[in-house]
Chain A
Amino acid sequence: MTAVTTPPKKQAQRGRPGQSSPKLAYLPIIFLAFAIGIPLLIIVVYSFLEKPSQGTGVKWVFTLENYKALFIQEKLDGTTALDTRYIKVLWTSFYYSVVTTVVTLVLSVPVAMWIATRDAKKRNLLVALVTLPFWISILIRTYGMRQIVADEGPIGKFLGIFNIEWSILYAPPATILGLIYVFLPFMILPIYASAERFDFRLAEAAYDLGAKRMTVVRRIILPSIRPGVISGIALVFIPALGSFLQSDMLGGGKTNMVANVIANNFGQARNWPFGSALAVLLIVLTLLFVLIMQGAAQRRGEKVELV
């Protein structure tokens, strides 16, 4: 007996219900392509050009000097030596960003879990409260932060009662505190989004199987909110790496992050090509981080898209 099979009919190319027309997506994509692509192109091109002998701008002569200058210093006597200044700045930025990411992560998981376990009405209110800082300009908030952590601010005055010295403003701790404060909501929100979808019956099942509280958190809850944690890390770490407002206003310019140096080269220092080269380096390092994160996510067979 032979089985007769008819080939499946070719399905008409129609959008599935709920799938929006690609045309609607064109406009924002074109806008983003221009708004990101053109400045990026300019930066990359500038980074390979010479600095004019006078004034700002660029001289249209190709050179690799800008990249060399990131790592190597040319002394007056013509000899060269390793220049660690920019590596140090990059390291400082990286270090601040890691601390910010870790602290916001540790603070956000319990907060997100707590919000996710409230009833629907309270949940909406609490999420609104988390997003409340977005209503106020980051500049104003950072000014506010400066008042609070100032030596003579409320914290300082309070600690003064116990004769404890308080002086963190215009030093690294203030910068880090400012970063944590600004980026905390960006960590809480994606983790909350994952936690809200968590099925608490799984936690009950784990208890029933003999797991204690911390084991349930570690082995059942945390793996379930992993996608939110990964998104949160990306949303905090990447912008933290490129932030300059906190080190400028709270760190007092003494503790430079890489973005401060870039801004300085486009401003006072009037060295656009070198600023561009440093910016390109920052972009490359950020991309590298994104790829590592994505690799880590994919190895677990999870769908986490960062780029």
Chain B
Amino acid sequence: MTNHISTQIRQIARELLESKTVKCVIGYKKGTIPMREQICFARSPEQADELIWSGFCVLNQSKFLIGVEEPTAIVAQGCVTRNIIGLIRENRVKRENVHILGINSPGMLDHRKIAAKFPGREIKELWEHEDKIIASGKGFKETFPRKLFKRDNCYTCTHRNPVIYDQMIGEAGPETGGGNIDNTASPWEKKDYDQRWKIFTETFKDCIRCYACRDACPLCYCRECFVDSARPQWCGKTVEEADVHTFHILRAFHCAGRCTDCGACESACPVGIKMRRLTSKIEKDIRKMYGYSPGLKLDARLPLTEFSLNDPEGFIG
């Protein structure tokens, strides 16, 4: 599966670069260690050969379109195209500068789940073959099914096929991951306030405030983030609970009505914090209250910049 799509990406990228249709192709390349693919900027036909497609293309490269002034092609699966629409809508990206190479995502893999299968052993090499993963390392080689090791957000994905594209790579595939996105938030919703606070604290207690989640997110493009602002200082610099909570509550809220549940934040986190717990609650509320899902239409107004006279207001008073 993987290989012939990689070949196709390389070939198309090569053509686009040789014909000078685009200046750069943004895609993925092999990481320095297994299961950690990196973002690749191919600027010459030779560099196009570095491009690959695998189950670990978990970062959201739409972030790198922000501010590009020259024609750029981008390899984009469903969630990435949704973020591109968001960025065009927020005037960060010009549609005419982007050449979208749409691609169906088979559901990306979670390197942490796979590593957890081999405690104390290091995976040196890993291949994907159809719906199987083959991992090998010192003294072992094992085959296991792909579908048990996907990222959480890929199970509940609703748009695996690109929402917009200029050119399609490979075939369109199934549109959904099969899971129910509302369930991400429901375990907390059933609890009482003190228990919720307890699991909330528990979920975020290991955060080291490295801001990888913010830096990976295509929505976080402010010149000055609220966490970096010194005057007023919204959030202290420590890893003390109140500061970590402030950071995560506000980070999630700043993504309200814009987050496409691409999961780049969770994939980028070095300690495995599940911050989608917060963003998916907001996503669900906005969908239920205002009937809006982000990144589906180029002319849709963002839900929190808009209003309707009969918005729910049961909480007021």
* A and B part of one assembly: no
* B residues whose Cβ falls under 8 Å from a Cβ of A: none
